[in-house]
Amino acid sequence: MSEIFHLVYFSKAAEDLSYTDIREILEVSRRNNARLGITGLLIFRDGFFLQLLEGEQASVHKILGAIREDDRNYSVKVLIEASGQERLFAEWSMAFHDGDITTASSGHLVELFESVATSDLSKRALIMPILKKFRASAPELK
């Protein structure tokens, strides 16, 4: 089985970003990602994006390049680049979770965003395990 490359980044959403923009991002992402064999999760919360992209390293970097150029977000900061054995979101070309809406899994999200905000590297190491717990708690992804 070939290795899966995982990349997690954090970015700030443009101040004038609307839900129409998010819908458009998801529509294009799902089309492109399905073609490129990319799966993952996009979380929006409090004006920030956190996205997991998984697939072939070259394809993941190609998409990241487009996202860095996209003025619907800025200050893109890569938090994790790692190879793994399996996909976390195998059935999603891009799952979406609106973190501004409270759900049963919001505890994991708070934990996730806290671990991202801190410069404490030991906390950053928790990001993938928290994403796994988030996935396992099966929130209503769109």
Q: Where does this chain bind ligand FMN (CB under 6 A)?
A: 25, 28-29, 32-33, 42, 49, 51, 53, 63, 66-67, 70, 72-73, 94
Least separation in angstroms between residue 125's CB and ligand FMN is: 24
- CA distance linking residue 132 with residue 48, whole number of Å: 20
- CA distance linking residue 21 with residue 19, whole number of Å: 5
Least separation in angstroms between residue 121's CB and ligand FMN is: 24
Nearer to ligand FMN, 10 or 134 (CB): 10
Helix-helix angle 127-136:106-117, to 10 degrees: 170
- CA distance linking residue 9 with residue 75, whole number of Å: 10
Least separation in angstroms between residue 117's CB and ligand FMN is: 18
Nearer to ligand FMN, 2 or 75 (CB): 75
Least separation in angstroms between residue 53's CB and ligand FMN is: 6
Nearer to ligand FMN, 79 or 125 (CB): 79
Nearer to ligand FMN, 51 or 105 (CB): 51
Q: Between the CA of residue 38 and those of 101, 108, 121, what are the distances in Å?
A: 26, 24, 27
DSSP 26-72: HHHHHHHHHHHT-EEEEEEETTEEEEEEEE-HHHHHHHHHHHHH-TT
